[in-house]
Amino acid sequence: MKRILFSVLAVTLFACSPTPKPLTGITEKAEVTNLSAGGDKDEHGCLAAAGYTWSVLKNDCIRAFEQHKLMPTEQEGISVLAAFFLFNADETKAELFLPNEKKGTVLQRSGTEGNYVWKKDDLELFSRKGYVLKKSGKTIFHGQ
């Protein structure tokens, strides 16, 4: 009985399915392009859509938001944009990633142990109860 029911069901399904028609009139092959998931890569191969940016100090693509975090001292409106930084292996340089900047800025260490300051132009990063970033002598970011 089961065998008969199965046979009837199979015949019904095959009888109702449309018969595939042969493809005619197609003379060109479709061109397939390679698209990377998540967007374009930058000149270093970093996938910005996945949060990656090029680090000069690491010589690699990194996620800046996974580094040391600095919060702004003055919060305008409800949108708060953080800054991030990292050090090279011997901490003689720091790379700073500021909001709305596409590339990091490399700061050079000066001073004596315990009083190090990483500087470039009018930017100064130093440790005082967490890290502090000053621009033109004014504190603009602080961290823990």
Answer whether residue 14 is part of any domain.
Answer: no
pLDDT at 25: 52
Answer whether residue 47 is part of any domain.
Answer: yes
Answer whether residue 6 is part of any domain.
Answer: no
Beta bridge partners of 61: 54
Answer whether residue 143 is part of any domain.
Answer: yes
Q: What's the structural domain count of the chain?
A: 1
pLDDT at 144: 65
Q: Count CA atoms closer than 13 A to 80's CA, side-chain side.
A: 12
Q: Any idea what the CATH number is for the domain that residue 51 is in? A: 2.40.128
Answer whether residue 7 is part of any domain.
Answer: no
| DSSP assigned state of 13 | H
Reading the chain (144 residues) residue by residue, the pLDDT tens digits are: 445 544 544 445 445 545 555 545 544 444 444 444 556 788 889 998 898 999 999 999 999 999 999 999 876 555 668 999 999 999 999 999 999 888 999 999 999 998 999 999 999 999 988 999 999 999 999 986
| CA–CA gap between residue 116 and residue 113 (Å, rounded) | 6
| DSSP assigned state of 62 | E
Answer whether residue 51 is part of any domain.
Answer: yes
pLDDT at 66: 94
Residue 77: domain span: 43-144
pLDDT at 33: 43
**82 burial type by CB count under 10 A (0-12 exposed, 13-18 middle, 19+ buried):** middle
Answer whether residue 76 is part of any domain.
Answer: yes
The kind and range of the H/E element at 87 are strand 83-87
